[in-house]
Structure 1
Amino acid sequence: MADGAGQPAFLGISRSLSGRAWRQRPAEAGLVRAHMQALGLDEPLARALASRAVQADQGANFLNPTLKALFPDPSSFMDMDVAARTIVEALQAGQSIHVFADYDVDGASSAALLVRWFRALGTDLPIYVPDRLTEGYGPSAKAFDTLKASGADLVITVDCGAAANEAVAHAAAIGLKVVVIDHHMMREHPPVCAAVVNPNRPGDTSGQGNLAAAGVVFVLLAALNREGRGKGLFEDRKEPDIRQWLDLAAMGAICDVTGLTGFNRALTSLGLRVMSDWGNPGLRALLAAAGAEPGPAKSNHAGFILGPRINAGGRIGKSDLGARLLSTDDEAEASALAAELHALNIERREVERLVTEEATRRVEATGAHDDGSAVVVIEGADWHPGVVGIVAGRLRERWRKPVVVIGVDAINGIGKGSGRSQTGMNLGRAIQAAWNEGVLIAGGGHAMAAGLTVRVDDIGRLRDFLNDRMAGEQAHAEALDGVEIDALIEPGAATRVLFEQFEQLAPFGPANPEPLFALSHVAARDAVAMTGGHVRCRLVGADGASVKAIAWRCSDLPTGQALLSGQGGLSVVGRLKADDWNGRKGVQFEVEDVADPRMN
């Protein structure tokens, strides 16, 4: 039996309870043997490495990445040398330099990297972060006017600016010099300014397109040190050791969900080691505010504990809180900022919950989630624009199709929305086309995520446009929407030893997915529905051995219902997670999908 992509169905599961096919992650046998021989790995781990497209000569650097082996030549980035020269010359001339940052974790981390480099040289670097509600994303003519009036001579935009051609042109018109450091997709022609550094810029040959903005800024710091050495900047002061700030580069890479391969993997892996010392006062204070214990940092710290709290400032609070937190060396300020961000995150979660519940009810009442349409577009009055992207992501997970969620300002007749897509369906391209056709006031993004502004009267037109535009990609996306499994194990084999063996592949993210293990013919015992729609249980094999398990946000879905029913004969796929509660050093099975083989 094969799945929709033509691959054999793993365990015979061509359609799970979430509607997905299961397949084993493909790996070339010769490459598996090469990794076993060269690295001394057991077959399952060598197979996992091969299935992630790690070639025979790349295995050692993948498992033990170093900056020495993987750091790119800064000059390979288009305009990087010009950017470094412009900044160093402005610094030596005593000009007023400001950083303009996006309001998310990547923007905050990018700004903090520059602030700390300037501070090491005894210079303050003021931060400007636009307000999400009143200014929107990225540079604007108004923002540049404000910066010019404050005395700025040079503005460095980070994690934004690469597509802000009109705003940057205005900056030039008022005599404000601009250097753009970004990683987002951009127009064919870049903004006209001093320098545009972006590995995704047309014509850039650095090969570093998977970097977050914080990664690009980290390379800029190396370029600034090199330029500074050539211009005598460090004759009377110590050259900054940029390695101490790798934790900030890791924050951007993880929270912006970038591909963790090559140099970006090295940045992230080594950055987590630096983070583990918790030397950054802001990160340390935020960890304490969240009630988490300091210790070895994992991707989970950045992605699920620290990142959401930093983002909460830009979503529903003050947009510059995250950048200020990551930049400060003042313990009292860090503690106060962390407490404020933690409180905002609690508020954000409640706002998100309410919008998610309302949006779910509205869509399922109309059947739009299950009518064969390519895209779900849902709007609601006064839905906070700071949470619509998270809600879209939640609903995409639930319905396995692209979702656009729009918060409507009825007084002004304007909706601000955000969308999340499925692999194989390019939502950003469709949103750009909608803007080109005049359906949107503004819009853009990339394949998996997009933002937009639309007149309320045009929301129906937008829904029809996106469904028509993306219908041709739907069948391909559905075929791709499978669960790729690394290994079949028994519940008794789900041990700390196995977990730690596969942890050698960490950090995980796009292009290096977290390993997925399958359990066959298990029963869910002691299943309990928890607050938030989660299900907790034990998965028990035929021999009586079991592993503790948790399934997130699924108690009302077929997967959760199957677990709650306590039935046997289930196949379950999930991830192994550390369970260190009360020092027990165990594991928990985090359920990704459930199948009943009898239904295939």
Structure 2
Amino acid sequence: MRDDNPTQSGGSSPLLGVSRSLSGKRWRLREADEGEIVTIARQQGVPDALARVMAARGITAQGAAGYLTPRLRDSFPDPADFADMDKAARLVWEAIETERPMAIFADYDVDGATSAAQLIRYFRHFDQDADIYVPDRVEEGYGPSGEAFETLKARGAELVITVDCGAAAHAALEHAATIDLDVIVIDHHLMDAEMPPAAALVNPNRADDKSGCGHLAAAGVTFVFLAALNREGRRRGAITPDNEPNLLDWIDLAALGTICDVVPLTGINRAITAQGLKAMTGWRNLGLRSLAEKSGVEGEATTYHAGFLIGPRINAGGRVGKSDLGATLLTTEDEAVARRISDQLDRLNAERRAIEAEVLDAASAQLEAQASDRAILIAAGEGWHPGVIGVVAGRLKERFDKPVIVIGIDREATPPVGKGSGRSVPGVNLGGAIAAAREAGLLLSGGGHAMAGGLSVDPDRITELVADLDMRLAPELAAAADAMALKADGVLSASGFTLELARMLEQAGPYGQGNAEPRFVLPRMRVSFAKRVGTDHVRFTLSDSDSRRVDGICFRCADTPIGEALLAAGPDLFHALGRLKLDSWQGRERVQLHLEDLATAAE
């Protein structure tokens, strides 16, 4: 569907008049200050297309150089600005100097594994070993428990550091206090104003924290904590120029956790990711190198490699396998162990994909039948594996453009319980709504952050939960309608779709949540070739009126209106929206379009 007055301007008007594309989306041009675009292009010597990308992300001419070359020293926070950070560092160094036994309790995802691996490697630098405990996702669920702390106490731990969890674990931390077990919490999730009892609680999202770093992943908070540990060690005289750890040795781990936890890649997160990917490319970490080889990663490490090839394999251990495989892999110095665990994680990842496909089909059918005016969609099923519901929720969120929660119900538990995982859309704070529902007594537990959350609920109260979250999120979803539009960074002709521009856009990365990868529109193109490849992908060639060609691929679209339009390869004209991507084949580099959407264009 097209409006009568096509426009390329920002504001409320649809780009090229596209108010409803083949995927049902409205297209918008990202707003950008034209003056900044001109100045950035002139001062930095970049094309207007790249200058517009930067200006549309709020980058000024003054900040352009820092954006193009993000450096840690320009954005690294003072660890002392984090509540309890210096206190936690003192407690850890007291344990190191007195050889007090320590243990790390980590969440079972990539963020937890990379956070734990950073600490383990830091302690090893000072010849200190730390026990590690990663809860079983199915048997124990998320976060620490009194039973887990009892186990660690029995294994000799006197100081436990929780990473990527613990900030809302009131009951578990109260139990730890009763058994004289000191606990330091390193977390980033949203939490109540009421503080759980802990020896120290480091979380940039606690109410009294002044760091302004609430967008950090746990791996990022941990990396800052390492800087605090170095500073405290120097203050004590325990660290000298001869033995000071080089924190950049572990920034690849911080970057991997940051990418995989889908936090905004702005500020310090962007600097960690940029520097971390450079470090990762050296593949000095045996575990990462083994996984890269197993997943076919070649060349320089990218956010795609980390987020879609390496990360899912590490996650597979916590989702459908042994929960501590990821942390073990990232800390091993034994090549045979690295290969064995990588093989195991690769097999588990394949198993995870099969389980995920079954749950996705069943959940999709439920959501299709739900009211279209709901602000949140919730699917629930008995026996759905808790290790895949988060991934399924993410896929369904992309499909329906609404927050989605997927709940796996366990009727065999005593009492029966539904464990859910949700993913949200920009502008809708799902974690906050879940926390509010917990406080209202609708949940057994729950929390998260703006874009994601987890919960446990009595299966008989799911209907109540749906109504409560719908009521809470409806205003936010309505206000976020503009954020739901597909935003493009500009309109390119086929002649402007060049290898040189693709290279410059890639070098201006990394991109991710909060720093979206640039999209462009190719107007009035015909499909001159299309072929289904793989299970449901479509490879194609578009041509303009001067027969200039653009090759591309559209993933997982063959059975959608977009795929059907491509495969018809008729005389119709389309506007094509997607991303310029570099593609290497047999030593030859080329640019192709990764198509995200199509819209009909007038003859």
Q: Percent identity among equivalent residues?
A: 50
Task: Give the aligned residue type for 1:332.
Answer: A
Residue 587 of structure 1 corresponds to 591
Change (3 A) 1:236 1:434: closer
CA distance in 1, matches of 2:448, 2:72: 30
Q: Offset at 1:237?
A: 6.2
CA distance in 2, matches of 1:158, 1:120: 19
1:182 maps onto 2:187 in alignment: yes
Q: Is the 8 A contact 2:524 2:573 kept in 1?
A: yes
Task: Give the aligned residue type for 1:491.
Answer: A
Change (3 A) 1:475 1:598: farther
Residue 389 of structure 2 corresponds to 388
Q: Is the 8 A contact 2:191 2:447 kept in 1?
A: no
- Secondary structure of the residue that 1:539 maps to in structure 2? strand
Cα RMSD for the two superposed structures: 1.9
1:452 maps onto 2:452 in alignment: no
1:122-133 counterparts in 2 under 5 A?
Answer: 122-133=127-138
Deviates more, 1:36-45 or 1:59-68: 36-45
Q: Offset at 1:307?
A: 0.3
Q: Is the 8 A contact 1:421 1:449 kept in 2?
A: yes
Residue 351 of structure 2 corresponds to 347
TM-score between both structures, scaled by the size of structure 2: 0.95
1:504 maps onto 2:532 in alignment: no
Task: Give the aligned residue type for 2:140.
Answer: E
Match of 2:465 among 453, 462, 465: 462
Task: Give the aligned residue type for 1:393.
Answer: G
CA distance in 2, matches of 1:554, 1:30: 39
Q: Is the 8 A contact 1:406 1:417 kept in 2?
A: yes
CA distance in 2, matches of 1:27, 1:379: 42
- What do residues 500-552 of structure 1 show as CA deviations (whole Å, max 9, x unaligned)? 11123200012211010101111223322344432221122222122222222
1:52 maps onto 2:53 in alignment: no
Q: Which runs of 4+ in 1 moved over 6 A?
A: none
TM-score between both structures, scaled by the size of structure 1: 0.95
Match of 1:479 among 470, 479, 482: 482
CA distance in 2, matches of 1:443, 1:306: 28
Residue 327 of structure 1 corresponds to 331
CA distance in 2, matches of 1:461, 1:373: 14
Change (3 A) 1:378 1:532: farther
1:217 maps onto 2:218 in alignment: no
Residue 302 of structure 1 corresponds to 306
Task: Give the aligned residue type for 1:377.
Answer: I
Which sections of structure 1, spanning at least 5 residues, go unmatched?
Answer: none
CA distance in 1, matches of 2:587, 2:350: 28
- What do residues 423-459 of structure 1 show as CA deviations (whole Å, max 9, x unaligned)? 2322222222322232222222222212121222222
CA distance in 2, matches of 1:6, 1:300: 31
Task: Give the aligned residue type for 1:439.
Answer: L
Q: Offset at 1:132?
A: 0.6
Match of 1:113 among 118, 137, 141: 118
Q: Is the 8 A contact 2:101 2:157 kept in 1?
A: yes
- What do residues 75-120 of structure 1 show as CA deviations (whole Å, max 9, x unaligned)? 1111111111110011101100111111111111111111111111
Match of 1:161 among 158, 162, 166: 166
Residue 529 of structure 2 corresponds to 526
Change (3 A) 1:566 1:235: closer
- Secondary structure of the residue that 1:15 maps to in structure 2? coil
CA distance in 2, matches of 1:473, 1:419: 16
1:57-206 counterparts in 2 under 5 A?
Answer: 57-206=62-211
Deviates more, 1:459-468 or 1:394-403: 459-468
CA distance in 1, matches of 2:318, 2:248: 27
Change (3 A) 1:57 1:130: same
Which sections of structure 2, spanning at least 5 residues, go unmatched?
Answer: none
Residue 373 of structure 1 corresponds to 374
Residue 573 of structure 1 corresponds to 577
CA distance in 2, matches of 1:476, 1:70: 31
Match of 2:268 among 259, 263, 266: 263
Residue 291 of structure 1 corresponds to 296
Task: Give the aligned residue type for 2:556.
Answer: R
- Secondary structure of the residue that 1:11 maps to in structure 2? coil
- What do residues 54-77 of structure 1 show as CA deviations (whole Å, max 9, x unaligned)? 123221111112223322221111
CA distance in 1, matches of 2:12, 2:171: 48
Q: Is the 8 A contact 2:81 2:210 kept in 1?
A: yes
Q: Is the 8 A contact 2:131 2:157 kept in 1?
A: no
- Secondary structure of the residue that 1:487 maps to in structure 2? coil
CA distance in 2, matches of 1:441, 1:177: 26
Q: Offset at 1:317?
A: 0.5
CA distance in 1, matches of 2:66, 2:297: 31
Residue 432 of structure 2 corresponds to 429
Q: Offset at 1:191?
A: 2.1
